[in-house]
Amino acid sequence: MTTSATICIASMSLDDYQSAVRAVRSWIVQHGLDWSIIGAHPVLSNAIESDPLWKNQVIAMRLPAVAIVVRPPQMFLDLLLASIPLIACVHPVKHREVISQTLIDDSAVGRIAANHLVAAGARTFAIQGPQESLVPITGNIQARILRSQAFIARMQALGHEVRIVLKEGWTADESHDKIKRFVADSPKPVGFFCYQDRQAAWLVQILLAQGISIPAEALIIGCDDSPTARYCTPALTSVRMPIEGCVREAALIAQRLLSGSPIGQTTKYFPPAGIAERASTAVDPNGSDVHLDRAIRRANDLDKVMPTVAVLAKAAGFNRRTLHTRFLARFGCGTKEWLLRRAIQRAEHLLTTTDLAEADIAKRCGWRRAEHFITVFRTRTGRTPGAFRSLGGGGA
């Protein structure tokens, strides 16, 4: 017997939201269900935090409803209707209406990353700290701890020591200096594990700004296989998360609940979906281009304002058309698009690691007007700079 119902899918990450919708739609078709999907994501509403229109839709439809949430922040969960049962995916959630959780096995994430760096030929290994437990433990912090601890344990089992770099509380200058000296004094290549892609992209900028070659001298692997990993230069190898697997299991639980079957509070863990291998742990198939590398180092110089296309062309010794052709061949996009992606990455880093005003961040990242920066940032990330900062960047 088919029961009409509403499935509310909520996530602060556009990638996660799209994966969740695909998984639920696939489940609906596969099982012939009469379900309607209502989505809650910042791109779909100008101010989800204060005016979640999707809640009014749920009330108006007058159908049984279940919410499937994919690693949303607590402030977002607090807006859920008290009468809607909640299934949490990816990261654990503390909320009165949670009936089940389908989560990532974060320890398995750390282990698969360790195996990959060893197989890629790394001779020395480092990780972003801290590894110790933190209180209170949120989904983000718990993921960081479990991934880091599992990475270290796996490396120790393989007979390797792991150094901790990029510790909390270090200034940017301290981080740059310590990483440069660590790489200089270590057998190469050095394998770096970062618990999320945003931190890995930041590490890439630091290493390149210090003249350290990737992947010849340093191999880097992140987690989540996010747009940050795909648009980074060089592109980041990243652990792929089983988002759709977690959501499909959530859909199964929702189907049982809506059919009247008894549902106890359960938690099920899913291993990572594999490794998305890219240039940060593999030799660039296009080979070395000294002139292009010079332009990239200029763009990655964190002590200077983000350059224009003209400045990059001068650094490389090319005219703009030749530079565009070189970027297109190596990265699959032109110079202007590449610079925009890099500017967004730098803005994300500054928003989550400094107290700089948005206007100052806009200038450092190449925008003359803060209003234009805010518009472009929201278009690219789905959040305003202020929301991005208040949520700590979101993600794992």
Distance CA 177, CA 210 (A): 9
Residue 205 corresponds to which amino acid? Answer: Q
What is the predicted pLDDT for the residue at 365?
A: 93
The edge-to-edge listing of strands for the beta sheet with 5-11 is: 35-40, 5-11, 65-70, 86-90, 98-104, 266-270
What is the predicted pLDDT for the residue at 50?
A: 39
Residue 347 corresponds to which amino acid? Answer: A
Question: Who's near 213: CB < 8 A, 6+ residues apart?
Answer: none
What is the predicted pLDDT for the residue at 46?
A: 42
Distance CA 304, CA 282 (A): 29
pTM of the model: 0.69
Torsion, Cα 60 65 68 73, to 10 degrees, reads: 50
Q: Is 211 exposed, middle or buried (0-12, 13-18, 19+ CB in 10 A)?
A: exposed
Distance CA 329, CA 33 (A): 46
Q: What are phi and psi of 387, to 5 degrees?
A: -65, -40
What is the predicted pLDDT for the residue at 134?
A: 37
> Which tokens in the block code for residue 202?
């930041």
Q: Which domains does the chain have, with CATH numbers?
A: 5-104+242-271 (3.40.50.2300), 106-241+276-281 (3.40.50.2300), 290-390 (1.10.10.60)
Residue 90: count of CB within 10 angstroms of its CB:
30
Per-residue tens of pLDDT for the chain, all 396 residues: 457 888 888 887 778 888 899 999 999 999 999 998 887 665 544 434 434 455 566 556 566 778 788 876 554 555 555 567 888 898 887 766 678 999 999 999 999 999 888 877 788 999 876 444 333 344 467 888 899 999 999 999 888 899 887 655 555 566 677 888 888 888 888 999 999 898 899 889 888 888 888 988 899 999 999 888 988 888 999 999 999 999 999 999 999 988 888 777 889 999 998 888 888 987 444 445 667 777 887 887 777 889 999 999 998 888 898 889 888 877 778 899 989 988 888 888 788 778 899 999 999 999 999 999 999 998 888 889 988 887 765 444
What is the predicted pLDDT for the residue at 44?
A: 47
Q: What is the CA radius of gyration of the chain?
A: 22
